[in-house]
């Protein structure tokens, strides 16, 4: 029985891994099949069943999305589909609206949007007014911005940070008040270790952001980046001797356990808590290179929007 239980857990993990790879490649029908196989081994898991239902809804309209890296409309469909599977129906509907404006003849986009509305209970935002011909007017710059933002999200997901910078600059030329574009620009510069440029972009995002929670989150990013830049300046200056560990009462065993705790929290997606664990180690051992590298990685993902509540 123990061997059977281990086999089932291993098989479920593998099916979920394959589903993630397929979905990341725009192969939604194949991803749905992998989720179905995982659900058959664990039929009473409500989260797994919910993911399967969402992926199946996407696959019914778009079994595969191929050109999401180069085609703005398909990029919007791809990103909207992934958002829906992840549980963010509002963002999914907004991105599908972009896709519909770029490719209004594709009936599958409307079909998927209706399916998302039905499953989530969230209604789409009012569309643009219709003219006498029965068609919505061309959105001009807004249409270009929407498509470019979709391509930017794909580039960010694929960690093509140089392309994110290029696309963000294009968006901001047309829409200088786009806070999200500044956030993405800051995330890309941070990943490329261009910390002053990242700080400048995130400061612009902070000025434009109107949501109080988002402003609070951005303030945390700005403080972390400022501290990182200052630390880099201090590290670049010649030091008379290595920094000595502060008396924190932590033994080497405590530090090892704290590091393992940080790694576990990171694996669970609890990035803020993981960062706090690694900072405790650095406070005790400023020259602990493993903890410092781990903290830099966690902070990078937090700034890119990966933190979970």
Alpha carbon 210 to chain centroid distance? 20
| % residues pLDDT > 70 (the chain) | 86
Give whole-number Cα distances, 247 to 72, 195, 221, 289, in Å: 55, 31, 29, 18
Please, are residues 295 and 272 in contact by the beta-carbon 8 Å criterion?
no
Please, are residues 157 and 173 in contact by the beta-carbon 8 Å criterion?
no
Q: pTM of the entire structure?
A: 0.58
pLDDT higher than threshold 70 for residue 183: yes
Please, are residues 149 and 98 in contact by the beta-carbon 8 Å criterion?
yes
Please, are residues 165 and 182 in contact by the beta-carbon 8 Å criterion?
no
Supply the mean pLDDT for the chain: 83
What radius of gyration, in Å, describes the C-alpha atoms of the chain?
A: 23
Please, are residues 53 and 119 in contact by the beta-carbon 8 Å criterion?
yes
Q: Helix or strand or coil: residue 93?
A: helix
The string of pLDDT tens digits covering residues 200-249 is 999 999 999 888 888 888 888 888 888 888 887 777 766 555 555 455 56
Triad 285, 193, 223: Cα angle to 5°: 65
Q: Where are the alpha helices (DSSP H) in 25-106?
A: 28-41, 46-61, 72-85, 89-102
């Amino acid at each position: 029985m123990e061997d059977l239980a281990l086999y089932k857990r291993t098989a479920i993990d593998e099916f979920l891994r394959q589903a993630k790879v397929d979905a990341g490649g725009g192969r939604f029908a194949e991803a749905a099949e992998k989720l179905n196989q995982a659900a058959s081994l664990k039929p009473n898991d409500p989260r797994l069943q919910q993911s399967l239902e969402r992926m199946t809804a996407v696959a019914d309209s778009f079994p595969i999305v191929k050109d999401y890296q180069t085609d703005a409309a398909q990029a919007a469909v791809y990103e909207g589909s992934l958002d829906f599977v992840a549980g963010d129906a509002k963002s999914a509907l907004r991105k599908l609206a972009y896709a519909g404006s770029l490719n209004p003849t594709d009936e599958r986009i409307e079909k998927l949007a209706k399916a998302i509305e039905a499953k989530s209970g969230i209604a789409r935002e009012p569309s643009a007014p219709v003219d006498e011909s029965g068609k919505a007017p061309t959105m001009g710059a807004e249409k270009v911005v929407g498509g470019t933002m979709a391509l930017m999200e794909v580039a960010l997901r694929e960690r093509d940070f140089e392309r994110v910078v290029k696309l963000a600059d294009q968006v901001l030329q047309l829409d200088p008040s786009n806070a999200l574009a500044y956030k993405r620009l800051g995330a890309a510069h941070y990943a490329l270790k261009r910390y002053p440029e990242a700080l400048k972009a995130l400061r612009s995002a902070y000025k434009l952001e109107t949501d109080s929670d988002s402003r609070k989150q951005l303030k945390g990013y700005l403080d972390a980046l400022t501290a990182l830049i200052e630390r880099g300046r201090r590290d670049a200056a010649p030091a008379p001797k290595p920094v000595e560990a502060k008396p924190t009462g932590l033994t080497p065993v405590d530090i090892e356990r704290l590091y393992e705790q940080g790694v576990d929290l990171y694996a669970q997606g609890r990035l803020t808590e993981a960062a706090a664990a690694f900072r405790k180690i650095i406070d005790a051992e400023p020259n602990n290179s493993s903890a410092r590298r781990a903290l830099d990685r966690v902070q990078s993902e937090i700034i890119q929007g990966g933190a979970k509540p």
